[in-house]
Amino acid sequence: MSDIIERLGHIVGASHVLTADGDMAGYLSEPRDLYRGRALCVVRPGSTAEVAAVLKLCNDEGLRVTPQGGNTGLVGGQTPMNERDVLISTTRLDKVREIDLPSNTMTVEAGVTLLRVQEEAERVDRLFPLSLASEGSCTIGGNLASNAGGTAVLAYGNARDLVTGVEVALADGRVLSLLSKLKKDNTGYDLKHLFMGSEGTLGIVTAAVVKLYPRPRAVETALVGLASPEKALAFLNLAQDMAGADLKTYEFMARIGLDFVLRHAPGAREPMEGKHAWYVLIELASQGAEGLDARMMGLLEAAFERELIEDATVAASLDQRKAFWALRENLSEMQKHEGGSIKHDVCLPVASCPAFLAEGTAAVEAFMPGARVVPFGHLGDGNIHFNVSQPVGMDKAAYLARWEEMNARVHAVVARYHGSISAEHGIGQLKRELLPGVKDPVAYALMKSLKAALDPKGTLNPGKVL
């Protein structure tokens, strides 16, 4: 292996091949601490050509490669598990290659953080709408590899909907150059979509052309208290009717999640005088500088009249808006203080969400009395983070040991409503064994065929997805 490491050093520079345990440690642990990775080395290429050369060397020598962006993935897709594997970190691919305002596009390399893309867009009075809690660390390459969702899917779609072209290094070292700005191109298969959501198993995205949008001139944010998920769904339908394209965000959370945030997040405050069973964070955004506040008030008044909502407060300042968002964005992190959490990233037909929440909660409580269901997420697109915190006083390890049993009960309810066991986090290692049981057999076979065609030696991200 020393010869391989030396040859990798010739490609990327010896200082960018990490072999010491201490140097590699940060790349081999992941946010949930579910997996402890192992690798021969971490390689940090600085260009597409270097990524391709590293892949060719590894493919020729029978070494397997795990690609990694910001290391924020939640299903172990970015974690190598064999001491002979090579981890390719894309964080040095950090250039913004071009901003084309007439085309409303930006060409960025895979290692550029999502936050930087947002900031670069804002600098030229544009919007890049993808928004995630991890945006300060996650990278565009990782966002595309996992087809990230986030809080703006209702208005703008998933990551794959925000891209016109990609550049991809293939397993054998060839580079697929599809950095197109075209909005229409019917010249055969649209190959870029193969790599978005593939979790690095078909190729490594090294750059992308992303779409920019007009920057909103007015934003109105409200936190709303409601009695039930049924009311939240009815309020969503009303908001869509009354606000139309100005409705950008519709997030929901149960009271128990808000209690966790208020208990553990520094500076968090009760947002309303009374307490409610459920909450919705709704945001309208418009290109018109005037009138949006009246539209929000009109929507809330109509919702009160129809007895859909119990209370509402509209952010009167940027600080208050940030405080509302902090209540939502801290939900997952604050669960750590309540012990073990078994998490489910599921998607349901929007109309089925209330019924799923009721049946899923009943299934969990019947399986493990005292378990605390903490649902929240993106009701506008049916993506529910159906997290279950351990019963108070239960041993954390004993609780987490029942992860698969809990999954089986929750996913059975998801299946009854024709939902998905992975909405935006992907498959990775965590759900790989579940995939054959929920995927259409023909679709699963086609996935295997694509993998065999593009990566016949199994070089790319072994043990993930398939």
pLDDT (0 to 100) of residue 34: 87
Q: How far is CA 410 from each of CA 332, 386, 420, 426, rounded to the nearest angstrom?
A: 18, 9, 11, 17
In 3D space, the residue among 100, 107, 91, 103 whose CA is nearest the CA of residue 179 turns out to be 107
pLDDT (0 to 100) of residue 153: 94
pLDDT (0 to 100) of residue 247: 97
pLDDT (0 to 100) of residue 33: 85
Query: What's 339-425's CATH class?
Result: alpha beta
Q: How far is CA 141 from each of CA 39, 68, 366, rounded to the nearest angstrom?
A: 21, 9, 41
pLDDT (0 to 100) of residue 87: 98
Entry pTM: 0.94
The domain ranges of the chain are 2-89, 96-214, 218-332, 339-425
**Cα(423)–Cα(197) distance, integer angstroms:** 11
pLDDT (0 to 100) of residue 32: 85
pLDDT (0 to 100) of residue 107: 98
Tell me if the domain spanning 218-332 has CATH number 1.10.287.3510: no
**2-89 topology per CATH:** 3.30.43
As given in the structure block, the two tokens for residue 344 are 């489910």
Is it true that 218-332 and 339-425 share their CATH fold? yes
Q: Identify the architecture of domain 96-214 in CATH.
A: 2-Layer Sandwich (3.30)
As given in the structure block, the two tokens for residue 426 are 């992907």
pLDDT (0 to 100) of residue 1: 85
Q: What percent of the chain has pLDDT over 70?
A: 100
pLDDT (0 to 100) of residue 289: 82
Angle formed at CA 386 by CA 380 and CA 390, multiple of 5 degrees: 155
Residues of the chain with pLDDT under 50: none
